[in-house]
């Protein structure tokens, strides 16, 4: 059976059943190039209408293991987007002030306002991923967060925010190759973090945590997508396609022109 990209509502998945090397119907990047470029052009056009209309927002959530391509996805897929209407937020380790509040306190202010595209490079899901894997809070605490996340995302959805969640699925072997390239290329040394190796050693624990996050927080208003990401070109094709589809589903329209505009004469 062909593996899905968007996980059907109510379906439970196992990540080991998903092939990170899958490229769908495409044999190589040359086959997908034109379609990806078209998607990027459509995305730019749709973003302009989204911004002009100001009735909806789009939140894109990117989650993945280290070196899976979150930054590359943003750089490539959003290359045609007007920066005035797109905000990227990267969530790092919480500050003491953030830790003094509930786990969603630091996230909500970064939800995109109407007319904007917001991108979360990592997100509130870290509070059921790294927090769980490293036992930073008791199990009862992170286990209760799935329901709170669903309610939070429903709140955003009810107020005009369309939500797309992407798990960039790479293999452990592919991650090894990408980390090695960071070591070998001096221009990429800055990207290498020795702490990534400690996280890599916990690969199986993270896969289990991701499975639970996807299964427990896959909703009609905020669906999860498992994107095969070993091939960067296919990752970009899939994500650009899904973003365009989501924007088209909003039935965007330019606002009406000011009354009497046809009578205006500019001298």
- pLDDT tens by residue, 40-61: 999 999 999 999 999 999 999 9
CA dihedral 121, 126, 128, 129 (to 10 degrees): 100
What pLDDT is stored for residue 125 in this prediction? 98
* Interatomic CA distance for residues 227 and 99, integer angstroms: 31
Length of the chain: 267
What pLDDT is stored for residue 196 in this prediction? 83
Instruction: For residue 169, count other CB atoms closer than 10 A to its CB.
Output: 25
What pLDDT is stored for residue 1 in this prediction? 42
Label residues 106-127 b or e (16+ Cβ within 10 Å = b). Answer: bbeebbbeebbbbbbbbbbbbb
Going from the first residue of the chain to its last (267 residues), give the mean pLDDT of each consecutive group of 10, the final group possibly shorter.
85 96 94 96 98 98 97 97 97 96 98 98 98 97 98 98 98 96 88 87 98 98 98 98 98 92 87
CA dihedral 75, 81, 85, 90 (to 10 degrees): -10
Q: Please give the structure tokens belonging to residue 195.
A: 């702490």
Residue whose pair of structure tokens reads 């199986």 in the numeric block: 204
* Interatomic CA distance for residues 31 and 148, integer angstroms: 42
What pLDDT is stored for residue 222 in this prediction? 98
What pLDDT is stored for residue 193 in this prediction? 83
What pLDDT is stored for residue 29 in this prediction? 94
- How would you list the strands of the sheet with 161-169, edge to edge? 86-90, 117-121, 57-64, 161-169, 224-228
**Which residues lie closer than 8 Å to 16 by C-beta, 6 or more apart?**
207
Instruction: For residue 36, count other CB atoms closer than 10 A to its CB.
Output: 20
What pLDDT is stored for residue 169 in this prediction? 98
Instruction: For residue 30, count other CB atoms closer than 10 A to its CB.
Output: 9
* Interatomic CA distance for residues 110 and 118, integer angstroms: 8
* Interatomic CA distance for residues 103 and 72, integer angstroms: 27
Q: Please give the structure tokens belonging to residue 190.
A: 């800055």
Domains and CATH numbers, the chain: 15-253 (3.40.50.300)
Three-class DSSP category at 170: coil
- The candidate with the shortest Cα–Cα distance to 60, out of 240, 250, 202, 260, is 240
**Which residues lie closer than 8 Å to 110 by C-beta, 6 or more apart?**
87, 89, 118, 120
Name the pTM for this structure: 0.95
Using the 8-state DSSP alphabet, how is residue 109 labeled?
G
* Interatomic CA distance for residues 156 and 250, integer angstroms: 15
Three-class DSSP category at 265: coil
Q: How many Å is the Cα radius of gyration of the chain?
A: 20
- CA angle at 125 for the pair 124 and 130, rounded to the nearest 5°: 115
């Amino acid at each position: 059976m062909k593996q899905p990209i968007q996980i059907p509502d109510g379906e439970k998945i196992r990540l080991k059943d998903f092939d990170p090397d899958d490229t769908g119907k495409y044999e190589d990047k040359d086959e997908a190039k034109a379609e990806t470029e078209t998607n990027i052009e459509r995305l730019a056009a749709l973003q302009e209408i989204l911004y002009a209309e100001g009735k909806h927002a789009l939140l894109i959530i990117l989650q993945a293991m280290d070196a899976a391509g979150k930054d590359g996805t943003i750089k490539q897929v959003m290359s045609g987007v007007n920066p005035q209407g797109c905000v990227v937020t990267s969530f790092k380790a919480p500050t003491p002030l953030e830790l003094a509040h509930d786990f969603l306190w630091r996230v909500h202010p970064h939800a995109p306002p109407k007319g904007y595209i917001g991108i979360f490079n990592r997100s509130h899901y870290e509070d059921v991923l790294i927090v769980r894997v490293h036992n930073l809070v008791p199990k009862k605490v992170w286990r209760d967060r799935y329901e709170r996340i669903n309610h939070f995302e429903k709140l955003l959805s009810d107020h005009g925010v369309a939500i797309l969640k992407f798990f960039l699925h790479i293999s452990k072997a592919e991650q090894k190759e990408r980390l090695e390239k960071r070591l070998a290329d001096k221009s990429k040394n800055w990207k290498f973090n020795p702490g990534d190796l400690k996280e890599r050693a916990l690969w199986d624990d993270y896969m289990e945590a991701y499975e639970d996050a996807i299964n427990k927080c896959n909703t009609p208003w905020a669906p999860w997508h498992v994107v095969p990401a070993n091939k960067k070109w296919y990752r970009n094709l899939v994500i650009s396609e899904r973003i365009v589809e989501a924007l088209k589903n909003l039935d965007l329209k330019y606002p009406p022109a000011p009354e009497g505009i046809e009578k205006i004469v500019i001298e």
